[in-house]
Structure 1
């Protein structure tokens, strides 16, 4: 018969240090303590990027709604109505951008002229970024099955501040911008 060793004493050839080296009962807690900060940082980063993507989608929706409004209401566009028209188009976009960011700005330009003085002139547009070439008061051929017309440029730009992450990671904020060029006549 084998002698039984005491329960609390070291076994044959096992010292207390050797027993601690072989004990695996706290490994999961140590691994969790090491990995949880990395996991939390990744989750917070994904949440911030999700909010930024949501803001980008809201900007796209605002541009789309303002473009639709500009197309619908731009048929009777004239020099006399240009200022009110641009304010209304900008208002449509701004109303959809409420609570996204205080830094977003909406710009509406008719025929590449911020003053609206060229509203009665038609233009041929080509290239990217758009190059406007005056074509006169009546619609004419621009070549390649294109005709001149009146165009409204709608632009939304600004910055979104991250919610959780340090602003230093993104240089202070994330830039958000979108634009559309709508032929209204």
Structure 2
């Protein structure tokens, strides 16, 4: 799959205002994501691009996310990646407390799950690990690979706390590509994957 590029006509991309309070922009983008046309086709293309990227990267432990609020579901892609070579591992995030980095615990498709903080499923009793790549959901993202999340700051804190920093792979939809104004604490992704391909 070819890398994504910006549309030739800027009017092809929805333009959003940049309010001082990001909550309005976040609400707008979540509504946009929920109303996507051809969601199945977009998800299929994201899955293809993400699988291709994971095979290219020299990583051994991938942290990803349990999908909520119409996010792309990466579980099938990660499960196939796990089965590709021996020694690969995957992990899901566990929120320990607000305003702290995430912990990651080993996951396979057979891992027992329990309800974590905010009701999001987390692995039940598996080992904590430090991934060398993180697949991170984006409510919105910019062409220079800054992301807008849900506002908790968990992924920014996690990336800032880990040394060496994991490869950060944002997952989003082209309809949610916006001209974000980065905040001082924001950290860019190394990659963004959308239904149009990968942005490096």
Q: TM-score range by the shorter chain?
A: under 0.3
Task: Give me the TM-score of the superposition, normalised by structure 1.
Answer: 0.26
Higher helix share: 1
Could you tell me the TM-score, scaled by structure 2's length? 0.25
Choose between structure 1 and 2 for higher RCO, CA contacts under 8 A separated by at least 6 residues: 2
Quick check: which has more Rg, 1 or 2?
1
